[in-house]
């Protein structure tokens, strides 16, 4: 996902300004620690710390992030340089691949999953909202890249998983969206669907 977003920015700046770019892939602590829920090991900072260090040291000139992964406070010396046009901000319910898409609404979710499904998501925000319509569901953390998560739900390790619509669309998995969860069922994270460009304050 991170590389796809970086390529999106690179293509945009090359088309608009004629500036050539070089993408530097940096593996973060959040990328490496995939066995534990984020809330228990440090939260959002885990996905940006090493990238921000590279930006401050001059190793890279621009950092590309998912807005929803950004902490609310930036390190001294860094600033938001720009925000790319926002994609669909909604969350998506994804069922095993052989199951049909769902009609929008609470009744369709309950009818498809039953009263006690196992749902893959480590997001406290998503869990707290989905418990209103699935109070007896078992919510289990699911980490790893998008392909890994889809393989897990297709292998029936989960009855459903919850992912960002924008991420599925950017990686070419729009057809895997069983239902885009309307805002009255699940309010998205702040900034979800947007790509942020972080820069050094002195370079603005």
Which residues are catalytically annotated?
A: 69
d(CA 191, CA 165): 13
Two structure tokens written together for 41: 């090991």
Element (H, E) at 16: helix 2-17
Instruction: Give the sign of the dihedral formed by CA 146, CA 137, CA 134, CA 187.
Output: negative
d(CA 122, CA 162): 9
d(CA 1, CA 100): 26
Cβ atoms < 10 Å from Cβ of 47: 21
d(CA 75, CA 56): 9
């Amino acid at each position: 996902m991170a590389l796809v977003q970086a390529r999106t920015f690179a293509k945009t700046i090359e088309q608009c300004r004629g500036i050539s770019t070089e993408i530097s892939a940096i593996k973060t602590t959040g990328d490496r620690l995939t066995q534990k829920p984020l809330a228990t090991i440090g939260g959002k900072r885990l996905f940006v710390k090493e990238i921000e260090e590279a930006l401050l040291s001059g190793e890279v000139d621009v950092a590309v992030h998912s807005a929803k992964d950004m902490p609310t406070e930036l390190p001294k010396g860094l600033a938001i340089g720009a925000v790319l046009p926002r994609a669909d901000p909604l969350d998506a319910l994804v069922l095993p691949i052989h199951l049909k898409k769902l009609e929008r609404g609470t009744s369709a979710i309950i009818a498809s999953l039953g009263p006690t499904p196992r749902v893959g998501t480590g997001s406290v925000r998503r869990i707290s909202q989905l418990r209103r319509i699935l109070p007896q569901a078992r919510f289990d953390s699911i980490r790893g890249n998008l392909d890994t998560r889809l393989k897990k739900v297709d292998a029936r390790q989960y009855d459903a998983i919850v992912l960002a619509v924008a991420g599925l669309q950017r990686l070419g998995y729009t057809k895997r969206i069983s239902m885009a969860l309307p805002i009255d069922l699940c309010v998205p994270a702040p900034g979800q669907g947007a790509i942020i460009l972080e820069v050094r304050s002195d370079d603005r």
